[in-house]
Amino acid sequence: MKYPIGIQNFESLRKDHYLYIDKTALIHQMVENGRYYFLSRPRRFGKSLLVSTLEAYFLGKKELFEGLALEGLEQKWEKRPVLHLDLNIERYESLDNLTDILNVNLKLWEQIYGSDASETSVSLRFAGIIRRAYEKTGHRVAILVDEYDKPLLQSIGNEELQEQFRNSLKPFYGVLKTMDGYIKFALMTGVTKMGKVSVFSDLNNLNDISMDRQYTSLCGITEKEIHDNLEEETRALATAQGLSYEETCDKLKEMYDGYHFAPDSEGVYNPFSLLNAFSKKTLSCYWFETGTPTYLVELLKHSDYNLANLTHVETSLSVLNNVYGDDKAIPVIYQSGYLTIKDYDREFGIYTLDFPNKEVEEGFMEFLLPCYSYTDATLSQSYVRQFVREIREGNTDAFFRRLQSFFTDTPYELVRDLELHYQNVLFIIFKLIGFHVNAEYHTSQGRIDLVLQTTKFVYVMEFKLEGTAESALQQIEEKQYAMPFKADGRKVFKIGVNFSAQTRNIEKWVVGE
């Protein structure tokens, strides 16, 4: 088996005999039932391969589809002009970067279909190319735009540059509506839907299938597709891991499954991580090895987001589809694939979001720690083992001294809400070492800052900034924060913690039982 890891070109994939999970029946369904589509999916989920497959289809390359569903579904196999724009290949640090990549593509198309000196703007040139392509070939045009939102994502936090990108892209994409009579099919793909509010505001004919149940498996791999295409490879992975076949299936599901792009929809596995696991015969966090977008951290820190709210998020469809509302973090994190739909309350229209799988939860926390701790301290395996041992043994003084290392060198200019910053760092660390942790734990008397639970102990923690550890402990006692855990048999530690704004670290902790 040859695994198409990093291969995004359908023609080379097929000619070189790599594995291809057949999505062509869904592709035919799209083309037959509509014309203008928008699809949002996380990075490395196969969007570029989907676009490349559509390009081969519209170019009439029937030989590439031998043995696939589309071979029997399509009867005409017409060759038509295809305008394929990939915005993923540039780094967008200024408007010139966007202008350059648009010009390169426009010039390439003009060499094929001609140009007109009166067409001076990129939108006029784009419209002229579409019209001449139709007139020259007698076939309406297929337009494929991959990673439409790359300029917008790379300029998060720079409102001026974002506005420049929007002002350039809006008339360019608007051509899709004005040239409707010359267009057979159009697909726009990206990670987020942020452009739908402004960039695509005039394109009311654009069908967003990002949360359409019938297209949830268009990108990604389902459990059925694993059994249909990778049964032998799953057994080989099981042998390499020293596990049974059933145990291996469970491990794959725990690590890479869990993406739900619509309520009550079929789960989808991350294709990049899954294929890497089969290829290397090792279960690892492959998605995060390729890098986590820095725009996510910038967004979380810029909005002073409480990381504890990343678990069991309750939100509405309007929030999920709009990054320009009051809560910008949740829709971008969801659309980027770090949260997914876990439940849906039809009566009230409320979605519950959470991490899709173990790979995402662990990988995200590992990525966030150095971005929040500003320290050279690392969670090496020996460091983690010692940390876990201290918590399991109830050695509060030892693990609090260890925690102090993660708060060293916190820069004054980068943290606006110190108390939230400290809580976020604690949340990340405890999540990483695998304990059940709740921040802002609700009781009848109020909200506990942090609750950490192990098999033998419950740690109830209250934090103060420029207060006293004693007053924090007193608050735990007065509000009876430990009461919910009194009857479960575990030993409860009540810990008051004071942080110093001057040292920007844990100043003192006191422990009560």
At 19, is the secondary structure helix, strand, or coil? coil
At 272, is the secondary structure helix, strand, or coil? helix
Average pLDDT, integer, range 269-278: 96
The better pLDDT of the pair 52, 284 is held by 52
Segments of the chain assigned to CATH 3.40.50: 10-210
Report the share of the chain in percent with pLDDT over 70.
Answer: 88
Instruction: State the pLDDT confidence band at 422, using cuts at 50, 70 and 90.
Output: confident
Amino acid at 130: I
Q: Is it the case that residue 378 has pLDDT exceeding 70?
A: no
Number of Cβ atoms within 10 Å of the Cβ of 362: 17
Q: Is it the case that residue 256 has pLDDT exceeding 80?
A: yes
- Burial (0-12, 13-18, 19+ Cβ within 10 Å), 149: buried
> For residue 185, what are its two tokens?
């099919």
Residue range 188-226, pLDDT digits in tens: 998 877 555 567 666 777 899 999 999 999 999 999 999
Cα–Cα distance measured from residue 25 to residue 403, given in angstroms and rounded to the nearest whole number: 54
pLDDT of residue 444: 63
Cα–Cα distance measured from residue 50 to residue 7, given in angstroms and rounded to the nearest whole number: 12
Q: Which region among 44-53, 86-95, 423-432, 456-465 has the lowest average model confidence (pLDDT)?
A: 423-432
CATH code at 374-512 = 3.40.1350
pLDDT of residue 392: 86
Cα–Cα distance measured from residue 178 to residue 42, given in angstroms and rounded to the nearest whole number: 30
- H or E segment and range at residue 146: strand 141-146
Listed in sequence order, the residues at least 6 apart from 244 whose beta carbon sits closer than 8 Å to its beta carbon are 238
Residue range 438-495, pLDDT digits in tens: 666 666 667 788 888 888 999 999 988 889 999 999 999 999 998 888 888 899 999 9
Q: Is it the case that residue 124 has pLDDT exceeding 70?
A: yes
Report the share of the chain in percent with pLDDT over 90.
Answer: 55
Q: Is it the case that residue 504 has pLDDT exceeding 80?
A: no
Q: Is it the case that residue 51 has pLDDT exceeding 80?
A: yes
Q: Which region among 359-368, 449-458, 491-500 has the lowest average model confidence (pLDDT)?
A: 359-368
Cα–Cα distance measured from residue 239 to residue 257, given in angstroms and rounded to the nearest whole number: 21
Average pLDDT, integer, range 228-232: 96
Instruction: State the pLDDT confidence band at 329, using cuts at 50, 70 and 90.
Output: confident
Put the strands of the sheet holding 446-453 in their side by side order.
436-443, 446-453, 457-465, 491-500, 505-512
pLDDT of residue 452: 87
Cα–Cα distance measured from residue 483 to residue 465, given in angstroms and rounded to the nearest whole number: 25
pLDDT of residue 197: 53
- Short-list 207, 340, 201, 336, CA closest to 264: 340
Q: Is it the case that residue 423 has pLDDT exceeding 80?
A: no
Beta strands (DSSP E) in 155-241 are 183-190, 207-208
C-alpha distances out from residue 38 to 51, 166, 175, 208, 210, Å: 12, 17, 15, 5, 7
Q: Is it the case that residue 328 has pLDDT exceeding 90?
A: no
The better pLDDT of the pair 141, 190 is held by 141
The better pLDDT of the pair 444, 245 is held by 245
Cα–Cα distance measured from residue 279 to residue 416, given in angstroms and rounded to the nearest whole number: 45
pTM for the model: 0.84
Average pLDDT, integer, range 148-163: 85
The better pLDDT of the pair 325, 479 is held by 479
CATH class for domain 10-210?
Answer: alpha beta
DSSP 44-100: TSSHHHHHHHHHHHHTT-GGGGTTSHHHHH-S------EEEEEGGGS--SSHHHHHH
Segments of the chain assigned to CATH 3.40.1350: 374-512
Mutual angle of helices 24-33 and 47-58, in 10-degree steps: 60
Mean pLDDT, the chain, whole residue set: 87
Instruction: State the pLDDT confidence band at 510, using cuts at 50, 70 and 90.
Output: very high
Q: Are the CB atoms for 499 and 464 separated by under 8 Å?
A: yes
Listed in sequence order, the residues at least 6 apart from 48 whose beta carbon sits closer than 8 Å to its beta carbon are 8, 86, 88, 146, 147, 189
Put the strands of the sheet holding 340-345 in their side by side order.
313-316, 350-354, 340-345
- Of the chain, the end-to-end C-alpha distance in Å amounts to 59
Q: Is it the case that residue 290 has pLDDT exceeding 90?
A: no
Number of Cβ atoms within 10 Å of the Cβ of 377: 18
pLDDT of residue 413: 47
Number of Cβ atoms within 10 Å of the Cβ of 415: 18
